[in-house]
Amino acid sequence: MALTMVLTGDNHLNYYNQKMGSRLRDRRTWIGRAWRQTIDYAIEKEVDLYLHLGDLFDQISPRNPPRARVVEAFRDLHEAGIETFVLAGNHEAPASMRDGASPHSVIDEAGFATVFENALNFDQKLIEIDGRSVSVAGMSYNRRLVPGMDPLEDLTIPAGADFNIAMLHYSVERVAPPKWEEPQISVNSLERNSQIDLFAMGHIHAHVSTKVGDSLVLYPGATERYDFGESGHETGFCCVTVDDDIEFEFIPTVSQPMSQLKLHTSSLSPENPTQDILKAVEQGSSEDGLFQLVLEGDVPFEEYIKIDFTRIGDEGRGRNFYFEYIDRIKPLIEGLKFIETEGLHPRKELSAMGQQAVESSSPEERKLWERAAQLALSFYDKHWER
């Protein structure tokens, strides 16, 4: 018989966004429903394995309601006889011993899943399903790694079964590159671990699949869109079937509508720009939708001051579940020039300073500076970045 499994990750159940205010609770309900579809599908299809690839939670210390829903869901999988495996992603992995275990530990203690807490080396579980031996090896995200480091450097992933799976939560160079400076797995590390049949990957919110040698690298993507930069992403998870070959199907989830509209000043009437913007808001809005309007371009200052931003905001909020606008318009004043900058990125600057200190240090001091850079970034992530 064929081996079947559900792959999911990046669900971000206790998602936090201060700007949503009173709508945050309802937004979390949408996110929870999308993730629950992976549980119901696995039970309905009677799959053999359920692999969760990290960032089930958006923060390391979720409150009791999302914890309770998670325990209930994994209990349902357990009672259905589905072997379940979980690892911690970058949003929920502890940065140090002081932070304690990941929030998945309660699932492990209840006996509902095998949780791979180790972030330095792989843990492995060997099981047999219908006469086929299966190795599942997993390693959680290591928040102490600095940008550019390869989490699989010098590591050999345990295998030794008829079918060998590696669970990870990282980007991969050229296959699923990162959006910011962070650790990433090299293609060479995947090729060196050719004993692995399936690399089940979390962290990248888009669905990605490719072959590296004879190994399948598979990102199921996110079950919900995280921000407006992902408004064009299709949300879902994957069902993998292993018989003579490895096949998979992408299963879409019902997620909350999200759209981003970029409106250029060249499309606005000089006489009544507000009316044109309001028309675009009306056409792009939906009652359950999250809508971001981006205004860009340049206009004479006397036209810019005609735009009624208060009215636009009120109209957008009245027509959508959530609405925000971003004003990137550059008003032109004769004799003055507005210069657009990238703005301040504290974490990026901190990372660059740390890397510079490491590169300029002596061989004897290099490890000390690397450790200092890791601690500085960990402190920043814990106290300032949400």
3-state secondary structure string, 82-121? Answer: CEEEEECCCCCCCCCHHHCCCCCHHHHHCCCCEEECCCCC
Separation between Cα atoms, residue 116 and residue 218, nearest integer Å: 19
Beta bridge mates, 357: none
Q: Is 352 helix (H, G, I), strand (E, B) or coil?
A: helix
Separation between Cα atoms, residue 246 and residue 4, nearest integer Å: 10
Domain spans of the chain? 3-252, 258-332, 346-383
Separation between Cα atoms, residue 276 and residue 268, nearest integer Å: 6
Q: Which of 38, 61, 373, 377 is nearest to 224 (CA)?
A: 38
Q: pLDDT value at position 343?
A: 54
Q: Is 186 helix (H, G, I), strand (E, B) or coil?
A: coil
SS3 track for 298-364: EEEHHHHCCCCHHHHHHHHHHHCCEEEEEEEEEEEECCECCCCCCCCCHHHHHHHHHHHHHHHCCCC
The token pair that represents 21 in the structure block: 């205010």
The token pair that represents 90 in the structure block: 């970058």
The token pair that represents 250 in the structure block: 């992408």
The token pair that represents 349 in the structure block: 């600057």
Separation between Cα atoms, residue 259 and residue 176, nearest integer Å: 23
Gyration radius from the chain CA atoms: 24
Q: pLDDT value at position 98?
A: 60
Residue 149, classified by CB atoms within 10 Å of its CB into exposed (0-12), middle (13-18) or buried (19+), is: middle
Separation between Cα atoms, residue 88 and residue 94, nearest integer Å: 9
> Which stretches of the chain drop beneath a pLDDT of 50?
385-386
Whether the Cβ atoms of residue 139 and residue 203 lie closer than 8 Å to each other: no
Contacts of 25 (CB under 8 A, 6+ apart): none
Question: Going by DSSP bridges, is the β-strand pair 215-219/208-212 parallel, antiparallel, or unpaired?
Answer: antiparallel
Superfamily of domain 3-252: Metallo-dependent phosphatases (3.60.21.10)
